[in-house]
Amino acid sequence: MREPRPFCLGGRWKTSTSTIPVINPYTREEVARVCTGSADDLFMAAGHAAAAFRITKTLPTYIRRQILHTIAALLEERREELVDALIAEGGKVRKIADGEVTRAIETITISAEEASRITGTIIPLDRTPGGAGHTGHLIRVPAGPLLAITPFNYPLNLACHKIGPAIAIGASFLLKPATATPLSSLILAEIILAAGYPPEAVSVIPAPGSVADAIVGDERFAYLSFTGSPDVGWELKKRAGKKKVSLELGGNAAVIICRDADLRYAASRIIAGGFVNAGQNCVSVQRVLIHHEVYEEMTAGIISELRALKIGDPRDPTTDLGPMISEEAAAVAEEMIRSAGARVIAGGIREGALLHPTVLADVDPSLPIACREIFAPVILLSPYRKEDEAFSIVNASEYGLQAGIFTDSLETVQRAFSALDVGAILVNDIPTFRVDEMPYGGVKGSGTGREGPAYAIAGMTVEKMLVINKR
């Protein structure tokens, strides 16, 4: 019988009688068994985090920076192990799994660089007579321990986006990874401890959402960083109490194809953005709005690009699209396609957790499938006549994470930038584009706050003022 893998509680590895299997979505085999934490374990982790914060907040910048560089080096050293874990636990295809490890290393490295950029400023206070003879010194200090909750789709890099900035500022943390994909986070815990971060400051505990809900309101945590579904995220924000909150939630990202767009290039990018990670991405291309004069040509180009995708075993380095996280998730997406009321021109076939890349054409933007987040390898094509119509369709969504527009017109770009209610607009690229130093986050139902190490650091810190009377 497989020995259950322990979790990390205040730097110590702990077993429990409660365990969960980790299932390979492609083979449907159990690849590991992991101990899960109880509510008591999470509350103990909060106590460890509060105690350790007194130590971590005093660590010199150069020590925090060195620890982060060591973490990055150890991630590289254990690259193959991490790639195999990402494939086994999440069904991620090898090239995407390897890319996620690369991005995790970059995220941690950027966090190390940003640790040296946490600076202060001097504020003259004599602009009014009452401030004469006084000078202000303003610095940023860590708000307190971090509670981080991460999803299954990018379990390593999204954990690094929360933990990297936390270490950069000198904060202790509790990470609760998704129960479907805990292996990469547990390896990350081993790496952080090996890099020399104070052990009591480190807790990584897989736990069911129902158990984790109890810890969200614990005031020993000063900051909650959550990435996941909108329903869960907004509910957690209600329970978070006085702590600062960052939410990275869902989306149904749109791309606008103008009649002056480079259609061949746009088609290749749409395929990349719609089907990467089996469409399980908050900024996966979902809605493609195409000017009616180029609609048929663009549709043909998308189908041509789609035919080049290799579908199947994620362990094969040549595979482009593997399974979704579970057969249940794939079945939900299959039912959404079946009941969409739109024309399926590619895909729509499911084999277990493997949903073939699917394209729906002539989709009415008001259909339920166009208004929801599908989170699957499905893209929807809709024609439009005027740019203002396309802008209105994009904005009709309850979400507002990122959007793309393909055009050579600077005037159109400026109008789109002014009109679209999203966190970022990508010109001549897809909304799926993200590099890890950029500010990333949405508006409306897509969340609040921004990720990217520099921006996460700003969120996790507070301003502290010293006023000196020079007399």
Give every CB contact of residue 233 below 8 A, 6+ residues apart in sequence.
226, 247, 248, 249, 447
Residue 111 belongs to what H/E stretch? helix 94-115
Confidence band (pLDDT; 50, 70, 90) for 1? low
Q: Which amino acid is at 117?
A: R
Active-site residue, selected from the candidate residues 89, 100, 200, 248: 248
> Strand, coil or helix: what is 267?
helix
* pLDDT average, residue stretch 222-232: 96
Q: Tell me the C-alpha distance between 236 and 247, whole Å.
A: 9
pLDDT in tens, 166-186: 999 999 999 999 999 999 999
Tokens (6 digits) for 335: 């039912």
Q: Give 196-208 pLDDT, tens digit per residue.
A: 999 999 999 999 9
In this structure, the number of other CB atoms found within 10 A of the CB of residue 27 comes to 16
Going along the chain from its start, the domains and CATH numbers come out as 7-249+446-467 (3.40.605.10), 254-435 (3.40.309.10)
Q: What is the pLDDT at residue 212?
A: 83
Predicted local distance difference test score (pLDDT) of residue 85: 99
Contact 120, 462 (CB under 8 A): no
Which residue bears the tokens 């943390």?
A: 173
Asked if 335 is an active-site residue, the reply is no
| Residue pLDDT, tens place only, 108-151 | 999 999 999 999 999 999 999 999 999 999 999 999 999 999 99
Q: ∠ CA(358), CA(360), CA(364), 5° rounding?
A: 150
What is the structure's pLDDT at 84?
Answer: 99
